[in-house]
Structure formats: structure tokens, C-alpha cells
């Protein structure tokens, strides 16, 4: 019984209950599209109050695991693949961790002078050459993300001898000894521009989930700057931490 579990654990009962509900969804005991048992049934099954059940369901709803409410019974939602910070450095690793098939289609790879804005982000001189890659990323063959990456010349020049449709750019560069060891990530929302709309099959202005990343070497040099734009119904991001091991996370206000 959950009441017994609570007596040997400091974790609040509603968290224990939400963990149990997640297991039922993951095991397909509660199947996608099917309604959940009523609050009254869940209260009776687990010997808890209606408020506790509602707190547990609210956690699942905030994670996108269930949908409904406002007079409609909650149902198991279509799962959205989540990307953890453990696989943030590689889209390919993320897809494989889910048992999904990653894919990519290269739109452009070019050597260009860095504009003022990009140079400022990468701590380069304006006009200094960078290698830029534009790719459409796929998940099980479906368009999922538009990837715009800019590499410093010394790191990115090897991409001209690599089939960027064949797999992970980070994996290839790392295999050549390029030190892509640390990333700083900023997550926000952005409207799809004309290129995004065309590649992802949405209307211009549609909301996308954007990850801006700076990738550093061990000695702190910026080697890559990216602007990755995901369809929000196909991907989200998850952070897990504990009191003993905290993830460095900051909420940064957007500047208009």
C-alpha cells in the first residue's frame, strides 16, 4: 500500500503515486488514448484522498503524459520524446537512446565570414571564417528539427570530407580528435521562419522549441554555435537533479 511506502520514505505520497502512474503508462497497462480510472476509483484503489490523486495527475499532465480535464476525463496522451541533458550534445545519441531511427538531410554546407552577431557569440573577429551547416533532422523518417550550426574553421573544415547525410557531425568530429566536451544551452520558443516552415511542413510563424547551444573545448574555447528548432509536439527537454547533485540551470529573461 502506498500509505506503508510513505511511512518508510520521505517522498510525499502524491509523488509516489505519480511514479506509480508513470509506470502504468510506460508498461502500457494504461494505453495511449484510453481514459484513466476515475478519481474516485484511484482513491479507493490506493487509500488516498482526492486531493492527493489530483496532485499526482497534475504532475503527469504537466509532463504531457495525460491530456483532458475541464470536465473531460483524463486520457493517456501520445508520448512526446524527451531529450535529457545527458544526450544534449548529440541528436543521434538521443534518438538511439529512445530506440528511434535518426536521420538527416543536408540543405547546405558552406564556408562564410562570421557576421557581427555570430562573431560576438563565438568570441571571433567579425569576418573571421566559419563553417556553417543547415540540416533537416528526422525521427523515424519524420521531419523533427531544423539544425543550424556554425563551427570555427579549425573544427569545421573536416566536414567537407564527410557525408553530412550519413550521421552525427559531433560523432565524426570527435572521432578526429576535435574536443567538443562541454555545452551551454538556452531553451526558448520562436516562430518558424520561411525556411523552417518549408522544411518542417508548418505555417510561417508556427511556434517552435528552440535550443541555442555554445560548444566548448576543455580549455574553454568556443568551437560551435547552434540554433536548433524542434516541432514542439515531437520533442521536449527534461532536467533531473537531486539535492546532492544539482544541474546548473538558470531562467534567463528574454530581451525584446
Q: Domain 82-238, what architecture? A: 3-Layer(aba) Sandwich (3.40)
Q: Is the pLDDT of residue 10 over 80?
A: no
- Beta carbons within 10 angstroms of residue 169's beta carbon: 27
User: pLDDT, tens digit, for every residue of 96-146?
Assistant: 777 888 899 999 999 999 999 999 999 999 999 999 999 999 988 999 999
User: pLDDT, tens digit, for every residue of 76-90?
Assistant: 876 655 444 444 457
pLDDT for 80 equals 53
Percent of the chain with pLDDT over 70: 81
Q: Give Cα 80 to chain centroid, integer Å.
A: 10
- Which grid coordinates are listed for 230? 524542434
Alpha helices in 27-103, H assignment, sequence order: 39-46, 50-62, 91-97
- Which grid coordinates are listed for 51? 486531493
Four-point Cα dihedral 233, 235, 236, 241, nearest 10? 150
Burial class (CB in 10 A: 0-12, 13-18, 19+), 57: buried
Alpha helices in 142-214, H assignment, sequence order: 153-156, 169-175, 194-200
Fold for 2-76, please state it.
Arc Repressor Mutant, subunit A (1.10.10)
Q: What is the DSSP letter of 111?
A: E
Please check whether the two domains, 2-76 and 82-238, share a CATH topology.
Answer: no
pLDDT for 56 equals 87
Q: Is the dihedral of CA 140, 87, 211, 106 positive or negative?
A: negative
User: pLDDT, tens digit, for every residue of 23-65?
Assistant: 888 788 888 888 889 889 999 999 999 999 988 888 888 767 7
pLDDT for 164 equals 95
115 neighbors 126 (Cβ within 8 angstroms): yes
Alpha-carbon separation of residue 147 from 13, 144, 213, 246 (angstroms): 42, 10, 11, 29
pLDDT for 72 equals 72
Residue 5 — very low, low, confident or very high, per pLDDT cuts 50/70/90?
very low
Domain ranges of the chain: 2-76, 82-238
Provide mean pLDDT across the span 192-213: 95
252 neighbors 186 (Cβ within 8 angstroms): yes
Amino acid at each position: 500500500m502506498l500509505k506503508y511506502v510513505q511511512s518508510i520514505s520521505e517522498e510525499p505520497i502524491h509523488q509516489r503515486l505519480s511514479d506509480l502512474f508513470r509506470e502504468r503508462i510506460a508498461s502500457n497497462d494504461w494505453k495511449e488514448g484510453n481514459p484513466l480510472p476515475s478519481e474516485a476509483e484511484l482513491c479507493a484503489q490506493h487509500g488516498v484522498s482526492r486531493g492527493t490523486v489530483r496532485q499526482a495527475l497534475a504532475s503527469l499532465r504537466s509532463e504531457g503524459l495525460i491530456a483532458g480535464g475541464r470536465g473531460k476525463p483524463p486520457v493517456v496522451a501520445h508520448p512526446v520524446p524527451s531529450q535529457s541533458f545527458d544526450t544534449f550534445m548529440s541528436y543521434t545519441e538521443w534518438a538511439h537512446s529512445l530506440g528511434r531511427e535518426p536521420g538527416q538531410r543536408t540543405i547546405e554546407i558552406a564556408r562564410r565570414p562570421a557576421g557581427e552577431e555570430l562573431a560576438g557569440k563565438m568570441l571571433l573577429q567579425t569576418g573571421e571564417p566559419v563553417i556553417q551547416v543547415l540540416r533537416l533532422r528526422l525521427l523515424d523518417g519524420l521531419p523533427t528539427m531544423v539544425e543550424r550550426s556554425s563551427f570555427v574553421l579549425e573544427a569545421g573544415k573536416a566536414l567537407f570530407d564527410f557525408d553530412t547525410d550519413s550521421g552525427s557531425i559531433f560523432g565524426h568530429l570527435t572521432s578526429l580528435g576535435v574536443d567538443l566536451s562541454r555545452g551551454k544551452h538556452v531553451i526558448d520558443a520562436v516562430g518558424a521562419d520561411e525556411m523552417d516552415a518549408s522544411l518542417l511542413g508548418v505555417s510561417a510563424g508556427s511556434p517552435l522549441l528552440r535550443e541555442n547551444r555554445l560548444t566548448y573545448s576543455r580549455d574553454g574555447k568556443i568551437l560551435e554555435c547552434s540554433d536548433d528548432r524542434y516541432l514542439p509536439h515531437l520533442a521536449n527537454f527534461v532536467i533531473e537533479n537531486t539535492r546532492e547533485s544539482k544541474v546548473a540551470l538558470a531562467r534567463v529573461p528574454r530581451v525584446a
